[in-house]
Each structure stands twice: as structure tokens, then as C-alpha cells.
Structure 1
């Protein structure tokens, strides 16, 4: 490359990125001013990602992009390795003052393990969402516990109290009863007020639950 290209800075940048993002991040510098286009890599960090080393050539993807896009940077595209790993890649073309491409700065990040982790996390999250009741919180005060249980009952129904019908409220109160909410002092008053029903209606809804269980 010509001296006008800040190769010393680019070299330090490649080393810094390789260290910053760890062993899964490969950073390469290609010198396209060399006569031998099959051996353009002049620096590579974490070359184990693609099993390349200094003296190897540019990938087919990079050369094709250069040929058809006239040196337009390509950011965040995906390629796969011969052994089936998935890489998220970016290719930045180094140009001289005339706009001629003289080098390539390439980043290849192996996201295979991240994809596997995403699948595991997605499964866990999906299973959690399929639970019949919202997740419980750990509280330090009894009054906070009651508020949390009421909030979970509302989440279980999936609509605000103003839109709940009788069956919705019965279901919510049954959840509270099963969770032990009515063991808390004066919980009946607060639950009745929250759902906009009388204490008589509250006890009636609880009796419906008891009758159902009796069957």
C-alpha cells in the first residue's frame, strides 16, 4: 500500500479489535497492491476463526464484492465456514486519494455459539411464558406481597379490572385464594376494593371455588 494510507494506525486498530472482542473475532488486513492476489493477507488477528494466516488470500466473497460493487463497504453480512460455523462479517475497503481500492479491512465474528445460546434462551423464555400464572416476586413486606399477588392475578387474566367480566374476576380471586392471599390481614377489604365488588360478592366468588372443589 502507498504511504498515504495510514497502515500503521490500521494495523494497531486490527490488533485492538481482536483483543477487544476476544477469540471469536478475526480481523484481517489485505494488501491489494501486491502482484500476487492469492497471497494478500499481511496481518491477521485470531486467524483460527477461518483457519487462515498471513500470506493467504482474500475470500471469494470479498473478491466478488469488490468486483461487482466497486469497493462499496459491506457491513454485517453473514457467511459460513467449511465446517458449518456462522460468521457475521464486515468488509471495509481501504482507498487512496484517487478512490482506488488498495486494501481490505475485514472483520469476521463467529456467532455460532451465540446462536446456540439464543436457541436455549428462547426455549426457556417460551416455556416460562406458557406457565399458567405469572412469575412470583420475592418481597420483604406482607403488604407488598398482597399487592404483588393482585398484580399477578391481573396479569393472569390479561386485561385491566375495568374490562373484566364476572368470570374473569372469579378466576382472578380463585388464583388469589390458591396463592394464600386471604391469609393476609385485611386482604379481603383491599381485594374487594381493587376488583370493585362487595365483600359479600368476594365471599360468594370464594364459595364458588369451594363448591367446584367439592365436586
Structure 2
């Protein structure tokens, strides 16, 4: 509920869930809502539910910066998003802690440069639950730097453009895999093991393997078996995306069984 009090906006939200992870997400969503009244329109704030990678976007402010919406997958993140480095840290996960990385550069699909930060939160079991990210579009600052006269005019409010087509998860995976192969600079038919490992490493950093079925898709694109992809992941020392999904599914199953009558 929101009330307008002169120049102030009062927001109230009742949180009734007893699930600690869900409660944390709802509290963080309220924080994002409050911050939306003081941040500039070129800064995106986004909250991810790490228990649901395929639809991780739980709350978002100024989604026009990257074009994302609530319900979008984790792999719709900007290119060179360092948040995945926190998630894929090979060290044993600590319980109930937060880790963060800040002031790194990422970019949108259309090439705009972003100044970004990511905070990853784990629950008491050490499982990633939530991720809070901020992405500032540097375009206006870069233009101002090139032309100081622009500072004399009042910047216009950015207009959200409605996309003609919203990408599906399958299309996102195909685009990311294709981009990684192109960046390798060698046709798949001529790739050796080290080059394919490099592609798999890049896809891991972009969170592709967190999505169910991605291993099979990547294996087909690289003309290898899915077991080969699993071997590549093991050789790279990276956890499989299925590990996170399994942890989330286990928690859900435990809650359901606890509700059944004895």
C-alpha cells in the first residue's frame, strides 16, 4: 500500500510467510522499492531468487536499463557479469554469509557500458538464496564527458521501449552459446579439446549450466556427448548448475513432506 503525503511517499507491506528464505526475499524486495524513490533512472536494481534460476528475477527497479522483467532467468544478465564468479567460487560455501563484488564493468546486449555491483546471500545451510545487483548505464556520463555543453540542458526522462519479442530461455541459451563459439574464433569442426574447454568455461561464467537441459544443448553445439561436457566441467573445477537446483528441490521436498499428516 502506498500513500502520498505532500512530497513524501509512504509504503507498507505485510510479510506473513514463515519461510526464512522467502521472508528474506520479500524484505529485500521492499528495500528495492524504497530505494527506487532516490536513485536515478539510469541505475537498475535487481533482486534474484537463486532457488529458481529459470525465473530468478524476483523484483526489479528501472528494468529498462537492461530490458529485464520480473520472472526473467538468471542468464539474461549483462555480458561479463562478475556476480557469477561469486556463485561459482570453488571454495566450500560458508553458511549464512554474504559476499560481494563491486565497481566492475559489464555491458548490455546492444553494447552499452555498465558500472555494476553484486551481493550474494547464502542461508544457514550455505545455499545461495538471493542476489542483489545494481547496474548503472554510463552512456549519459560518457556523452557529457565528450560535450560539457550538454550539462546546461535538463535530461529527459528515459522512455521504456516495449520489445517486439521477448526472448525465451531457449533463445537466450542459443544466443549465449553462439556468441561464446564465435568469440573462440575457430569453427566447431576444427576445435581441439582446449578450445572447447574455453567455450565451456565462458558458458559456466555466464550461468548457462544453471538452466535445466543446458548441458545437452551445449553438447550438441560442440559436437560432443553430454558426458564430455560433464568431464569438462569437472576438469575446470566448476560446480554444475544442477547442484543448485538439487539443493533448492531438496528444500522444497522437505517442506512438503513436513506438511503431510502423520
TM-score in terms of structure 1 length: 0.49
Give the alignment's TM-score, normalised by structure 2.
0.41
Q: Which has the higher contact order (CA 8 A, sep 6+)?
A: 2
Q: Please state which structure has a larger fraction of its residues in helix.
A: 1
